[in-house]
Amino acid sequence: MNQIIILSFNGEIKNSIESTDYHWLMFYPCVYMFGMWDAYKDSGETADYAYLPYVSGAFLGTVGLMYSAHLTIFGILLGPVWMPMLFAFLGIGIGIALFKILYQKKP
């Protein structure tokens, strides 16, 4: 993991893709988001549906990792570090929107 981070930060995306063990790395977004959810949950009382940003962030982060070797955005190949981050932030945003919609409809 550290090697692909170093390669990605240095702009060596092709080398980071070649160094990536996708079978192992697929767990990383889910474990990371679960750790954040667990810390948030243990900090006190949580609202209903507060888990949605974490779940959707973990899901889309994993999807971003699966497509990171082939998907380009505006012609740029982001690789196995930046693509999952981008997708995770997108997932968190979608989860926050769903949370707000569902929380408003709660009686």
User: What SS3 state is found at 40?
Assistant: helix
The pLDDT-based confidence of 107 (bands split at 50, 70, 90) is low
User: What SS3 state is found at 8?
Assistant: helix
Mean pLDDT of 31-60: 91
How much is the pTM?
0.86
Question: What is the radius of gyration, based on Cα positions, of the chain?
Answer: 16
**Which residues make beta-bridge pairs with 76?**
73
User: For position 23, what pLDDT does the model report?
Assistant: 87
Whole-number Å distance between alpha carbons of 30 and 8: 21
